[in-house]
Amino acid sequence: MGKQTKYIIVSGGVISGIGKGIIASSTGLLLKTLGLTVTSIKIDTYQNIDAGTLSPLDHGEVFVLDDGGEADLDLGNYERYLNVTLTRANNITTGKIYREVIDKERRGDYLGKTVQVVPHVTNAVQDWIERVSHTPISGTDRVPDVCIVELGGTVGDIESAPFIEAMRQFQFRVGHDNFCLIHVSLVPVVGAVGEPKTKPTQASVRDLRGLGLSPDILACRSAQPFEDGIREKLSMFCQVAPHQIFSVHDCESLYHIPVLLRQQGILDVLTKRLQLGQLDIPSEIAHEGEQLWAQWREFARRHTRSLDRATIAVVGKYTDLADSYASVVKALEHAALNVNRKIQINWVEASDLEEATMHKDPLKYHEAWQRMCASDGILVPGGFGERGVEGMILAAKWAREHKLPYLGICLGMQVAVIEFARNMCGMANAFSAEFDKDCEMPAVVFMPEIDPTTMGGTMRLGSRPTKFQDTEFARACMIKQLYGGEDEVHERHRHRYEVNPKIVDDLESKGLHFVGRDAETGERMEILELADHPYFVAAQYHPEYITRPLSPSPPFLGLLLAASKQLDAYLAGQDLVTEAETKLKM
């Protein structure tokens, strides 16, 4: 019999968006510092099969995994904090579970029984969790010691009821010593005197206990640290020991949450509750854990230091909700702190840069241009649909003409190509077939292998290899140097359209070089770099998906280095750390 995996369930109460994902990720990180192997599962209670067809403005960023799975943005947090590569199986949705159950019923697997929520749906949830928790971590042969399961939604939601019941049953399936429940709740501070209120958490725990689950740990979100007596009061009414109640108050950054939890003793609680001391951890892996914690503390410390700022204008379509670009924000933060800078993001709604806005709302138009022009660099991220595209093209034009560092991602690469084709190659009518199927000069075309009618899961998705070209320019280009001189890189994609290969020769003859192409055919443009420019780089893939706090994405690293006037020194091999401190692994 193989080893018994330990399970930590993270639930949430009172309000949605309470921070379950960060608590789950931080807990996993702390367990990794002990040398444990950790994996994570996110349960989303919506009926969709996956997040691929959800609007970023409705649900935040769609995070793409190596295997092409489109998932909730929390899986991005897991990968970044735990430094693991997850798969679509690590994201459970109601739609996936019901599809699995119905497929079994159609095959006759239930032998004529009436198919019900209990036991068939709840068993399917439990079986899925066990199956994933026994799968070795990608790139290793290590079976997870601990599996952290985040239960989406809020206790009491009708959508989460089958999953709550599945977890109630699951605690008996795996045994008391292998099951720990962390409940994340809210202790609001109200009134002129700022009095913290415990009643919402009491009610949330009461609801949870009524459903058959008793929390082992309370993680209480609040604007300020616990005052005297609050922990004891919560303990009395929630039946959780005082030392198992944690104050998760507002910090300078989310990177401080693991430090906060460790200082309050969460590892001692988990070690005792799950008998982690009985696990056999090889000494070299334990040492890796110690090094990880030293690196993480230094990374968090840099957030508190007085560093020079680098300002990046993010010119996008979904800027009303920052979570739409969650991975882009994290990639900028990681790159900035690794080059000893603090990032300041100037959000610019792309449509506000367009001439139509100048006539409709001149103030908004001029403010948008002022924010972009005052920035040290410009980033144009991915997106779908025609709204704001002309504004993105104007942003690319400004960066090219004014030698401002520029990074384009997916659509950001396509608008850079359109702009260059129009203004440098004489193709005045250049546009994308995505926005005008009958355009005279399609600089961007629909990929022939993509299904034009079905939306969900039909894009070019997941990790694909990109090969740097063997040309004089490509061999010495900045982006290849930032990738460490590698001839081939693997990055994650999410697109239906690509640069028209028929116009590539014209573009390159004017100085826009496609230094990276897909390794499968060599005909799909993946990376471009503009000659005679401090930093003008764009990629068809999404480099933000595999950024890590201690290992920033190379295209983002280049943008921050260029924006802070350090790129030349970095490429020349000079050390960016100028004071006695722990150097982060790059």
| 298-354 residue pLDDT tens | 888 877 777 889 999 999 999 888 888 999 999 999 999 889 999 999 999 999 999
For residue 131, the model assigns a pLDDT of: 96
Given 120, 183, 495, 542, which residue is catalytic?
542
For residue 454, the model assigns a pLDDT of: 57
For residue 171, the model assigns a pLDDT of: 96
Would strands 195-196 and 441-446 be described as parallel, antiparallel, or unpaired? unpaired
Type of residue numbered 181: L
- Tokens 């659509």 map to which residue? 411
Structural contact between residues 137 and 118, judged by C-beta atoms closer than 8 angstroms: no
> Which helix (H) or strand (E) is 156 found in, with range?
none
d(CA 432, CA 447): 12
Burial label, 508 (beta-carbon count in 10 A; 0-12, 13-18, 19+): middle
Looking from the CA of 317 toward its CB, the CA atoms found within 13 Å total: 19
pTM for the model stands at 0.90
- Tokens 């330990």 map to which residue? 6
Residue 227, pLDDT above cutoff 50: yes
User: Is 542 one of the annotated active-site residues of the chain?
Assistant: yes
User: Is 439 one of the annotated active-site residues of the chain?
Assistant: no
Mean pLDDT of 424-432: 92
For the chain, the average pLDDT equals 91
For residue 446, the model assigns a pLDDT of: 87
Given 410, 434, 498, 533, which residue is catalytic?
410
User: Is 366 one of the annotated active-site residues of the chain?
Assistant: no
The predicted-structure confidence for 498-557, as pLDDT tens digits, reads as follows 999 999 999 999 999 999 999 988 889 999 999 999 999 999 999 999 999 888 999 999
Angstrom CA distances, 60 to 90, 91, 349, 459, stand at: 18, 16, 16, 19
Given 333, 354, 434, 544, which residue is catalytic?
544
The predicted-structure confidence for 142-190, as pLDDT tens digits, reads as follows 899 999 999 988 898 899 999 999 999 999 999 999 999 999 999 998 8
**Closest Cα partner for 184 from 58, 357, 24?**
24
pLDDT-derived band at 584, boundaries 50, 70, 90: low
Which residues fall within 8 angstroms of residue 544, CB to CB, at 6 or more apart? 327, 328, 330, 331, 381, 409, 553, 556
The predicted-structure confidence for 546-566, as pLDDT tens digits, reads as follows 999 888 999 999 999 999 999
Which residues fall within 8 angstroms of residue 502, CB to CB, at 6 or more apart? none
Angstrom CA distances, 448 to 188, 340, 364, stand at: 54, 44, 40
Structural contact between residues 467 and 541, judged by C-beta atoms closer than 8 angstroms: no
